[in-house]
Homo-oligomer: A and B are copies of this chain.
Amino acid sequence: MITVHGYAPSGNCWKVAQILRLTGHAFRWVEVDSNRGETRTANFLALNPAGKIPTVVLKDGAVITESNAILAHFAEGTAFLPPPGLARTRVFEWLFFEQYSHEPNIAVARNIVSFLRAAAANADRLEQCRIGGERALGVMERRLAQHDWLAGPGPTIADIALLAYTQAADEGGFDLARWPGVRAWVARGLALPGLTPLPRAS
């Protein structure tokens, strides 16, 4: 069986559980808390020397990493990843946007504010996250004000990848009321059959 090593409140790990459910793969989940150093133990580093989650072990023992590469791996051949051509390229544009322009702002702000609870000590960093995060949400709004899904006429892994942390943007201080197209898309995405919401910060 497929094994996912992940931390339940992590959006990057959430992506993996969602695509496995959406594509009908059974899997086992092993909880690993990266905020408590559990990705830096000798056992975990033997599995993934980069010490990062999510880490997926396939049935044959092969280990795959990088949440968006994992999304593409399991979505191949399904409607969540169109065949090669412009439609597929649109999906990858959003996947790279997510890792470069969205996650480092919106996920990092959430971690500082709601998990580390260290907003005051990271005021400069948070301000950079606010500027970058608002810009990223603006890019999404431009698309979602006029379309139901990010990359094409139906949901793809671009939506799974961006939903991961957008659904919890408020936990990093972003009020989605300013981006109504994004807010409506979050509700639409979370209503997809099989999707489960990201756990809130406790």
Q: Which residues of A contact B (CB under 8 A)?
A: 49-50, 58, 62, 64-70, 72-73, 76-77, 84-86, 88-89, 92-93, 95-97, 99-100, 103-104, 139, 142
Cβ contact within 8 Å between A96 and B96: yes
Among B72, B77, B88, B104, contact of A92 (Cβ-Cβ < 8 Å):
B72
Chain A interface secondary structure, helix, strand, loop or mixed? helix
Cβ contact within 8 Å between B49 and A65: no
Cβ contact within 8 Å between A93 and B77: no
Q: A49-B142, A66-B97, A73-B92 provided; 15 other pairs, C-beta below 8 A?
A: A50-B139, A64-B86, A64-B89, A67-B96, A68-B92, A69-B92, A69-B93, A69-B95, A70-B89, A73-B86, A76-B85, A76-B88, A77-B84, A95-B96, A100-B103
The complex is assembled from copies of this chain, and their number is 2
Cβ contact within 8 Å between A89 and B73: yes
Separation of A103 and B96 alpha carbons in the complex (Å): 12
A93 in contact with B76 given A100-B99, A142-B49 (CB within 8 Å): no
Separation of A99 and B50 alpha carbons in the complex (Å): 15
Closest to A60 in B: B86
